[in-house]
Amino acid sequence: MRLNASRADFLTGSPEDLDARKPFPFAGASLAGIVAPKNPIEAALSRQIRAALDSQPSTLNFPPVQDSSSPESNQHPGWKELWLKEDWWAVWIGLALVLVAYFLFLSHSSIDWIAVAPKKWSTLDQMGADFSGKIPRYLAQLGMFLVVFTFAGAILGHKPKAFIPSFLLVYVLSLAINIAGAWDKASLYTLEPPLLALLLGLIISNVIGLPRWMDAGFRVEFYVKTGIVLLGAGLPFSLILWAGPIAILQASVVSIGTFLTIFFVGRKLGLERTLCATLGAGGAVCGVSASIAVAGAVRARKEHPPIAITLVVLYAIVLVFSLPLVSRALKLPTGIGGAWIGTSEFADAAGLAAAQSYGGLASPATGIAGTADQAINAYTLIKVVGRDIWIGIWAFVLSVISITMWEKSATGRKADAAQIWWRFPKFVVGFLLASLIITFAIRGYGLADYTKLVKPSLTAPLIALRTWAFTFCFLSIGLTTRVRELATSGVKPFWAFTAGAVVNLLLGYVLSVHVFGQHWSTLGH
Amino acid sequence: MSSANTGPHSGTDPRSGEIEIRCDSPAQKRCCGRCTHFRNDPATIEAAFPGLTAMSSGSASVRSHDGLCLRHEVYLSFHDICDDFQIA
């Protein structure tokens, strides 16, 4: 196989591009020098990442492509994606829960019994009594999640005999995290459940270690997408229509600024255009998902997506801890903090952890104005409505540029406009439908009736289930982030991405706080 | 560069004797997604890209049906095409 020769024919790029293969700059350097730890949790995380990175070999660690599969196992485009893509399963599961909750509400019942969650507690006695009284409900809830997720997972290709024990671990740990997070002094010790879940997962996967087969149940994307569909049930459709245009405007300014910065700094440093585009999309749109979408659209080398993944994952984990801390230090209202996190955090799941943590800090004691919902809603509007849904258009535009400008010599290539739909993050469809269903369900209720009748029976249980889905997700991020296994990124990609991150953070701050601050701080009022 | 119409796997449909291997687009007779060198099942992609599952997934819609070309070692669209096409 004339692999190297054909690659040289096939790809455009200069020999200097291979400079991307220098060791990851964090290795042997101080992560604290890049983002200084502000609290013990962040410090512990920094030490953990630094220790792992220090031990990395100075060579590339891209795994060879496992050719144990065959062309017959390839997935083909078409409507089979309705059951072959996680996005659609998140839509089916999320909407089914919303509809069941709505029909039970209409018949004067509720899913409240199975949407059980720990109550706030002050003493261990209170915690123990609450837990023991709810054991049957927790078991029923576990059974429901297990049946639904195992069924969907089996169709997506995850064997039940691996998925079930793995999900049992996820549920038990999530229960412990949610109980710890229900302690009334948890926020004083930075024990918000999202950050606690992430940290616990990171420690387990990087210090203790788990067998690889257990990854079957650590499905970050599956859980976060299901949670986002359920989140739609807590967001009135009128609010999406009212705040959506500002979210799109703000996100577009930052996305374009970030992408161009990464792309042109990368080019200036001598990186390949396809790598610059892959990195730029990761920083500008929706993190790892955007990187792989654009990598496919521009025909990137197989080494390029792992470089982008490494940078997005490590930056996302640093920001998930530091953005809430900086927002807290600046005493930003929760709506503004959520908008900034939505603009500047790279990955959906990590950003949700940060936004949910920051929302949980709202109280007179902390001096942070607003509500927990404002942080989540502002985050979701910016991230999902403002950034995620445009990934297909980014990929299409970049594929046109790739074909017409970067690889003119490649014969037969055509940009496929249909990818705008095929790459569309379909869970957004579920998010919008859930919002429409609940907006329809609560029409005609005044504030008093909503608070007394609708909220406890309909929306609060759905919010509780959403919180569970997000906890599964945050824990799974930690459990699947094995720092030693991440690809070595190289010095130049690191600096290109860092330049974009700086622009992203600054622009995001200015727009969230100074330009649209009033809009985000009063979101939903 | 070899032509798609030569060699043992010429891209010829054995049933019709013509290159009639279609992707989902009627205008496209050959594409990487139908090539013997192409792999796009989620498990293969997740194994090839370390860290992918930490914040995304091989089964995500945004990935569409992109896959790896084992011949050229690139990650590309199902609908892409090159002169080294060999029918799967």
In the numeric block, the tokens 């919002």 are attached to A435
State the pLDDT at residue A488.
Answer: 81
Q: Are A347 and A316 in contact (CB under 8 A)?
A: yes
| Nearest-CB residue to A77 (from B48, B65, B71) | B65
Is pLDDT above 80 for B16?
Answer: no
Query: How many Å apart are CA A506 and CA A394, to the nearest integer?
Result: 22
Query: How many Å apart are CA A431 and CA A434, to the nearest integer?
Result: 5
> What is the rounded end-to-end Cα distance, in angstroms, of chain B?
19
Any chain A CB within 8 A of the CB of B83?
yes
Closest to A273 in 3D by CA, of A364, A403, A382: A403
DSSP annotation of A187:
G
- Torsion angle (degrees, nearest 10) of CA A35, A387, B53, A340: 30
- Please judge whether A221 and B61 are an interchain contact, meaning their C-beta atoms are less than 8 angstroms apart: no
Distant-in-sequence, close-in-space partners of A132: CB < 8 Å, separation ≥ 6:
none
Tokens encoding A439: 């907006």
State the pLDDT at residue A188.
Answer: 73
Query: How many Å apart are CA A63 and CA B48, to the nearest integer?
Result: 6
State the pLDDT at residue A23.
Answer: 40
Q: What is chain B's length?
A: 88
Helix, strand, or coil (residue A453):
helix
DSSP annotation of A218:
-
- CA–CA min distance B67, chain A (Å): 7
Any chain A CB within 8 A of the CB of B76?
yes
Q: Are B45 and B11 in contact (CB under 8 A)?
A: no
* pTM recorded for the entire structure: 0.84
Query: Among the residues of A330-459, which ranges form H helices?
Result: 334-344, 348-359, 372-380, 391-401, 419-422, 427-441, 447-449
Helix, strand, or coil (residue A89):
helix
B-chain residues within 8 Å CB-CB of A11? 72, 74
State the pLDDT at residue A517.
Answer: 94
Query: How many Å apart are CA B32 and CA A180, to the nearest integer?
Result: 51
A-chain residues within 8 Å CB-CB of B56? 220-221, 287-289, 292, 309, 347
Query: How many Å apart are CA A48 and CA A198, to the nearest integer?
Result: 13
Q: At what angle do helices A40-54 and A304-329 cross, to 10 degrees?
A: 160
A-chain residues within 8 Å CB-CB of B60? 85-87, 221, 289, 292, 425
Q: Report the run of H or E that residue A497 belongs to, with start and end.
A: helix A491-509
| Nearest-CB residue to B88 (from A71, A87, A293) | A71
Any chain B CB within 8 A of the CB of A409?
no
Query: How many Å apart are CA A327 and CA A398, to the nearest integer?
Result: 34
- Please judge whether A71 and B55 are an interchain contact, meaning their C-beta atoms are less than 8 angstroms apart: no
Query: How many Å apart are CA A430 and CA A384, to the nearest integer?
Result: 12
State the pLDDT at residue B29.
Answer: 62
Q: Which amino acid is at A238?
A: S
Burial of A439 (C-beta count, 10 Å sphere; 0-12/13-18/19+) = middle
State the pLDDT at residue A457.
Answer: 93
Query: How many Å apart are CA A206 and CA A210, to the nearest integer?
Result: 9
Query: How many Å apart are CA A257 and CA A243, to the nearest integer?
Result: 22
State the pLDDT at residue A290.
Answer: 95
Query: How many Å apart are CA A204 and CA A483, to the nearest integer?
Result: 12
Query: How many Å apart are CA A412 and CA B81, to the nearest integer?
Result: 6
Q: Report the run of H or E that residue B67 belongs to, with start and end.
A: strand B67-69
- CA–CA min distance B7, chain A (Å): 14
In this predicted model, which residue has the larger pLDDT, A185 or B48? B48
For residue A369, what are the CA distances in angstroms to A328, A335, A338?
11, 9, 12
B-chain residues within 8 Å CB-CB of A1? 71
- Please judge whether B62 and A391 are an interchain contact, meaning their C-beta atoms are less than 8 angstroms apart: yes
Query: How many Å apart are CA A361 and CA A384, to the nearest integer?
Result: 23
State the pLDDT at residue A1.
Answer: 35
> What is the rounded end-to-end Cα distance, in angstroms, of chain A?
65
Q: Which of A73, A299, A403 to mutate to test the interface with B (most CBs of B within 10 A)?
A: A299
A-chain residues within 8 Å CB-CB of B83? 411-412
B-chain residues within 8 Å CB-CB of A296? 63-64, 66-67, 75-77
State the count of interchain CB pairs (< 8 A) between A and B: 236
CA A138 to chain centre: 26
DSSP annotation of A367:
T
In the numeric block, the tokens 């080294």 are attached to B84
Q: Buried (b) or exposed (e) across A405-426, using 16+ Cβ within 10 A?
A: ebbeebeebbbbeebbebbbbb
Q: Report the run of H or E that residue A301 belongs to, with start and end.
A: strand A300-301
State the pLDDT at residue A32.
Answer: 32
Q: Where are the beta strands (DSSP E) in A169-305?
A: 300-301
Predicted confidence (pLDDT) per residue in A150-173, tens digit: 999 999 999 999 999 999 999 999
State the pLDDT at residue A250.
Answer: 95
Phi and psi torsions of A195, nearest 5°: -70, -35
Residue A13, sorted as left (phi over 0), alpha (psi -120 to 50) or beta, turns out to be left
- Please judge whether B40 and A416 are an interchain contact, meaning their C-beta atoms are less than 8 angstroms apart: no
Low-confidence ranges of chain A (pLDDT < 70): 1-68, 77, 190, 409-412
- Please judge whether B82 and A412 are an interchain contact, meaning their C-beta atoms are less than 8 angstroms apart: yes
Q: Are A388 and A286 in contact (CB under 8 A)?
A: yes
- Torsion angle (degrees, nearest 10) of CA A508, A509, A512, A518: -160
Identify the closest residue of chain B to A419 by CA–CA distance: B64
Query: How many Å apart are CA A72 and CA A70, to the nearest integer?
Result: 5
ipTM for this model: 0.82
Distant-in-sequence, close-in-space partners of A360: CB < 8 Å, separation ≥ 6:
A187, A192, A193, A372
In the numeric block, the tokens 């610059």 are attached to A276
| Nearest-CB residue to B41 (from A74, A349, A419) | A74
A residues 482-501 closer than 8 Å to B (CB): 482, 485-487
Q: Are A340 and A354 in contact (CB under 8 A)?
A: no
State the pLDDT at residue A63.
Answer: 57
Query: How many Å apart are CA A76 and CA A79, to the nearest integer?
Result: 9
